[in-house]
Amino acid sequence: MSQKRLLTNGNAFKRTDGRWCGVVWYMDEHGVRKRKSFSGTTKQAVNKKITDYIAYFNESIIESQETKKTLRESMQKWLEVFKFPSVERSTYDRYECTAKNQIYPILGDKVVGDISSADIKDLLNQKMNEGYAYTTVKKVYVVLGEYFRYLTQQEILAKNPMQSVPMIKKSNFFAAQEKENLPANETITVFAPEEIEIFKKECFRCWSNGKRIYQQAAAYILMLNTGLRTGELLGLLNSDIDLDNRVMHLQRGVKEIAKRNGITAERGREVKVGKLKSASSKRDIPLNNTAIEMIKDLHQERYFGENTPLVCDENGNYTRPVNFRKRYYRILKAAGIEMKGLHSLRHTFATNLVNGQKQPDGSIKSLTPRQVADLLGHSTSQITEMYYVKKDTARLSGITDGFEI
């Protein structure tokens, strides 16, 4: 991209009709030679217009040069102009949150053109040494990578400083924090069988008057028996459920996003109902006996009609995910169960199906990873096995007997 610049300082001349004119020649950002014309009754008036225009032109050049702006100003403009219209609102919220909380406090006041690879590396190292999670530092790296790629693609910067800053290896990252870099399936959190029983009991515990302590707690047991994501469950309408054919149809999801006036974030958050996470997330899920029982329980507790959410608030509207999570954590705390994210219900569902459950006749009933991937809405079974199934190494006991070498 060419640099916009003046080609002349302008000159005034008198026309045959007695009027004064002036012209300033310049090169635009596309490398095209152009001119700006002026006219007036006196030479002084035309020269004044030329002087004012040149001052305006030079100011506009400075304003347009991203390299002379602070990173805070330039990156925020990039986020608002390029990212806001092209990504999901929840994704944009994460980008903006990462920029404001992790990047701006350290690099925000630096001039874009002065930021070096060492500055970026220092930022990543600082976050690592302060004990931030690997995923948080990776988000910082991704946002900076996309931003500086944009600057170099637009030829605003001649060289991308991110090219000399590879992301810290996960093993080195954990070593620096004196933590163990465990395989993905070792970090999966699931409910043990005894925890499930305690959890169920706490979900349906009642006050002395017989009224349940926790509202719509059956929803958590439904998640345990269907593998639903939180947003999928909260986006489920009663009309999406076919109890006669024992199936539910997933068609939408619920997310919580920052309230905005246009593009400007305001105080508070709001519920957004929209598409599911991916194309494979739109699916039909078969219902077992427990799932059907939980749906009926939820209907008995609150039902505002077929076109209202299964798990709704007291007015029949969509439940806020934050309220749904808080209620879940209250149950865990009261039950004395170690804190686990809501996604652990989904992990437990997948783990039980792949590892199998012992039947009354002593056999093990299980599903293939591909079948479970279809139930969870994963595009590949590798995702299911790596990130959702906690391996049951106890089943390997004695498996090498008879294979003496």
Across 142-170, b (16+ Cβ under 10 Å) vs e yields: ebbbebbebbeeeebbeebbbeebeebee
AA identity, residue 234: L
**pLDDT-derived band at 67, boundaries 50, 70, 90:** confident
β-bridge pairing 247-249 and 284-286: antiparallel
Instruction: Note the pLDDT of residue 347.
Output: 95
With tokens 């925000």, the residue in question is: 108
C-alpha 26/C-alpha 6 separation (Å) is 4
In the chain, DSSP finds a helix count (H) and a strand count (E) of 15, 11
- Residues 393-403 have pLDDT tens digits of 666 667 677 78
Other C-beta atoms closer than 10 Å to the C-beta of 46 total: 23
> Token digits for 205?
């515990």
Q: What is the mean pLDDT of residues 215-242?
A: 97
Instruction: Note the pLDDT of residue 64.
Output: 59
- Residues 262-277 have pLDDT tens digits of 888 889 999 999 888 8
Instruction: Note the pLDDT of residue 62.
Output: 58
Residue 38 backbone dihedrals phi, psi, to 5 degrees: -135, 160
- Residues 299-328 have pLDDT tens digits of 999 999 999 999 999 999 999 999 999 999
Residue 402 backbone dihedrals phi, psi, to 5 degrees: 95, -5
Instruction: Note the pLDDT of residue 4.
Output: 76
187: nearest Cα among 353, 340, 395, 369:
340
Q: Tell me the C-alpha to C-alpha distance, in Å, between residue 274 and each of 3, 236, 254, 271, 332.
A: 43, 11, 6, 10, 29
- Residues 359-368 have pLDDT tens digits of 888 888 899 9
- Residues 107-137 have pLDDT tens digits of 999 999 899 999 999 999 999 999 999 999 9
- Residues 316-360 have pLDDT tens digits of 999 999 999 999 999 999 999 999 999 999 999 999 999 988 888
Contact between 107 and 70 under an 8 Å Cβ cutoff? The reply is no
Other C-beta atoms closer than 10 Å to the C-beta of 373 total: 22
Contact between 257 and 247 under an 8 Å Cβ cutoff? The reply is no
AA identity, residue 338: E
Query: How large is the angle between the packed helices 218-226 and 289-301, nearest 10 degrees?
Result: 150
C-alpha 151/C-alpha 147 separation (Å) is 7
C-alpha 233/C-alpha 251 separation (Å) is 10
**pLDDT-derived band at 57, boundaries 50, 70, 90:** confident
Instruction: Note the pLDDT of residue 180.
Output: 87
| Entry pTM | 0.78
**Which of the residue ranges 86-95, 149-158, 205-214 would you say has the lowest mean pLDDT?**
149-158
Considering the chain, what is the average pLDDT of its residues? 91
Instruction: Note the pLDDT of residue 63.
Output: 53
296 pLDDT higher than 70: yes
349: nearest Cα among 285, 299, 403, 404:
285
Residue 327 backbone dihedrals phi, psi, to 5 degrees: -65, -40
Report angle CA 113, 88, 137 to the nearest 5 degrees.
Answer: 50
Please count the CA atoms within 13 angstroms of the CA of 97 that sit on its side-chain side.
Answer: 11
Q: Which domains does the chain have, with CATH numbers?
A: 5-64 (no CATH), 71-176 (1.10.150.130), 193-387 (1.10.443.10)
Other C-beta atoms closer than 10 Å to the C-beta of 97 total: 14
Across 263-282, b (16+ Cβ under 10 Å) vs e yields: eebeeebebeeeebeeeebb
Q: What is the mean pLDDT of residues 141-151?
A: 96
Contact between 378 and 368 under an 8 Å Cβ cutoff? The reply is no
> Token digits for 405?
């070498």
